[in-house]
Amino acid sequence: MLLLPSFRYGELKTLFLFEQAFKFYELASDSSVDQALTIDSSSAIRVRGPIIQNSQQMHFVIARSVSVRVSNVLISSPGDSPNTDGINISESMNVVLLDCKIGIGDDCISIVNASSTIKMKKNLLWSWAWN
């Protein structure tokens, strides 16, 4: 299980998990990286507890991965931040989202590109676009 500290995008680092190994990247404020947390090409991953705020576009990406469980994640961005997706799931299967809170300027959760068996339970979702 991964217990991640709270962080704001752009404060210090972006967290990227590729093939089971975390890599941290220092980001300048004008960085072209548009997500705060990425899990890519991985399996049997558990993420619990991070707070992710104010990413440029996608806050949390799960790509080309199998058996990912995400719980107790808080994701937020201001209402005037367009195109800020909360969790983007792409080409992944057997993903569980549990007890997450996502308040975002665009899509709270997007599921694309041949993803399957996505389970969501007890999540609180709201989009500033609904106001």
Instruction: Please tell me the distance from the alpha carbon of residue 33 to that of residue 25, in angstroms, as a whole number.
Output: 10
Rounded mean pLDDT for each run of 10 residues along the chain, 131 residues in total: 49 49 43 70 84 81 92 84 85 97 90 96 84 51
When divided into structural domains, the chain yields a total of 1
- Whole-number pLDDT of residue 89: 97
Range of the domain at 77: 2-130
**Residue 41, amino acid:** S
Helix (H, G, I), strand (E, B) or coil at 9: coil
C-alpha atoms less than 13 angstroms from C-alpha of 112 in its C-beta half-sphere: 10
Contact 59, 37 (CB under 8 A): yes
Residue from 10, 43, 40, 44 nearest 27 by CA: 10
Instruction: Please tell me the distance from the alpha carbon of residue 50 to that of residue 100, in angstroms, as a whole number.
Output: 10
Q: Which residues is 103 bridged to in the sheet?
A: 76, 126
* pTM greater than 0.85 (yes/no): no
DSSP conformational letter for 74: E
CATH number at residue 86: 2.160.20.10
- Whole-number pLDDT of residue 16: 53
